[in-house]
Amino acid sequence: MTSHQVLMNDALPSHTPPPLSADADATVTGTDIVYLADVQAQPVEWLWHHRLAAGTLAMLSGQPGSGKTWVALAIAAALTRGQDPFTGETLKPATVLYASAEHSPSQVIQPRFAGLHGDAARLVILRRAVSATSMSSPDSALRDLEHALQKTRAHLVILDPWDGLWEVDPDPALQTRPLIDRLARLAELHRCCILLLRHLAKPTAGRPAHRGRASMDCSAALRTEFLVGSSPDAPTQTALLHVKSNLGPLAAPLDYRIGEAGNFYWTGLSNLTQEDLLAPRPTGAGLPKRRFAAQWLRDYLQPGSQTQGSIEVAAERDGVCISTLRRAKFDIGVRSSKDGKSGAWSWTLPPPED
């Protein structure tokens, strides 16, 4: 063997490591190492092709009222009946575990899921989270979630919204990132996809990952990330955008609509961009002021009758001129009625036939 060969062998040891010295154990205790040659490549196991994968953490972000829960339940309903949520392609039916501290199973989840034609026998509600009157500690909530996963073997977990289910320290270095990491490990251990729903702040410039609590830390741990929202020029034009993927190409943006009767449906591919969904909403936002006010009022009254006071407060918050709003009220035929007990005026959309 030449001296050059001896030097090369000393510099690049063989795959089999030499025996450790007597005191080497103290140096490596607690270190988890693996040679890349021993790592077996695994194909991605998709629940929804290019969007949601088994063993990973995903996030769906949007402003309050943007339809995050509708979108999440539409995805869940399709997967429980064994279909691609958008194309309808046949898939293996999946079990979905849903946890929320905001939505009632009987008043919100069940009616919406039934309208979406999901298989109710495959949607499991984590009742302790839904019925909780106060947020749980992270340890307690994670134990509940792990026990539910062991019992149901769910393929998809939806936490709606994720940070509303337990008390989270606002300093990400103290608690939020460790919690996200534990959720990621839980997803990997149980080979499920955990989809975190998150409320975003009022639209401003910047990526969605930068507009929530501990946003940078959250985004770094995610394999896929989505954004829902509307066009700044047409509030009823809403879309689901795929904004991050570590597993493959970004999937196409999808348009969706939430109808007046409380029904959800996909309407095709969308041309909206991330910048559109995150753009600030100044008064008018590309529409004549009165038309914009009419559209804003129609959207605000979609869930049902609202008091005039709450409407005007919300309008001022969203930059809608009150005088313009009152003129727009007559344009779309909004009706006023007075509560005989409280004396407060309420506004209601006219019946569809009108």
Name the residue range of residue 332's domain: 289-348
Peptide bond preceding 161 in cis form (omega within 30 of 0): yes
pLDDT value of residue 174? 54
User: Which element (helix H / strand E) includes 96?
Assistant: strand 96-100
Point out which residues pair with 257 in neighbouring strands: 265
Domain final residue, candidates 278, 299, 330: 278
3-state percent helix, strand, coil for the chain, nearest multiple of 5: 35, 20, 40
Q: Among 154-158, 160-164, 266-270, which is the least confidently predicted range?
A: 160-164
Residue 303 is assigned to a structural domain of this protein: yes
Q: Which of 20-24, 85-89, 291-295, 313-317 has the highest mean pLDDT?
A: 85-89
What are the b/e assignments for 101-134, b being 16+ CB within 10 Å?
A: bebebeeebeebbebbebbeebbbbbebbbebee
* pLDDT (mean) for 112-135: 79
Pair (121, 213) in one structural domain: yes
Pair (103, 215) in one structural domain: yes
Beta pairing class for 52-53 and 56-62: unpaired
Pair (114, 259) in one structural domain: yes
Q: Tell me how far apart the alpha carbons of residues 157 and 123 are, in angstroms, rounded to a whole number.
A: 10
Length of the chain: 354
Pair (102, 239) in one structural domain: yes
Tell me the pTM.
0.68
Q: Tell me how far apart the alpha carbons of residues 48 and 253 are, in angstroms, rounded to a whole number.
A: 14
CATH number of the domain bearing residue 337:
1.10.10
Selection from 183, 280, 199 nearest residue 233 by Cα: 280
Question: 7 versus 96: which is more confidently predicted?
Answer: 96
Domain final residue, candidates 278, 307, 339: 278
Residue 190 is assigned to a structural domain of this protein: yes
Residue 166 is assigned to a structural domain of this protein: yes
Question: Are the C-beta atoms of residues 39 and 45 closer than 8 Å to each other?
Answer: no
Query: pLDDT tens digit string along 206-249?
Result: 444 444 444 555 677 789 999 999 887 677 789 999 999 999 99
Taking each helix axis from N to C terminus, what angle separates 322-331 and 308-317, rounded to the nearest 10 degrees?
120
Selection from 49, 60, 86, 91 nearest residue 255 by Cα: 86
Pair (262, 302) in one structural domain: no
Q: In what order do the strands lie in the sheet with 56-62?
A: 123-125, 96-100, 156-160, 193-199, 56-62, 224-230, 238-245, 254-258, 264-269
**pLDDT exceeds 60 at position 99:** yes
Domain final residue, candidates 256, 278, 300: 278
Pair (123, 173) in one structural domain: yes
Residue 191 is assigned to a structural domain of this protein: yes
Residue 81 is assigned to a structural domain of this protein: yes
**pLDDT exceeds 50 at position 39:** yes
Pair (168, 299) in one structural domain: no
Pair (336, 189) in one structural domain: no
Residue 232 is assigned to a structural domain of this protein: yes
Residue 17 is assigned to a structural domain of this protein: no
Question: Are the C-beta atoms of residues 217 and 176 closer than 8 Å to each other?
Answer: yes
State the greatest distance between any 2 C-alpha atoms of the chain, in Å, as a whole number.
Answer: 103
Pair (71, 111) in one structural domain: yes
CATH number of the domain bearing residue 118:
3.40.50.300
Residue 41 is assigned to a structural domain of this protein: no
Pair (250, 299) in one structural domain: no
Q: Among 61-65, 134-138, 263-267, 336-340, which is the least confidently predicted range?
A: 134-138
Pair (255, 134) in one structural domain: yes
Contacts (Cβ under 8 Å, ≥6 apart) of 328 = 290, 291, 293, 294, 296, 297
What is the SS3 assignment for 293? Answer: helix
Domain count, the chain: 2
Question: Are the C-beta atoms of residues 156 and 98 closer than 8 Å to each other?
Answer: no
**pLDDT exceeds 80 at position 291:** yes
Pair (82, 222) in one structural domain: yes
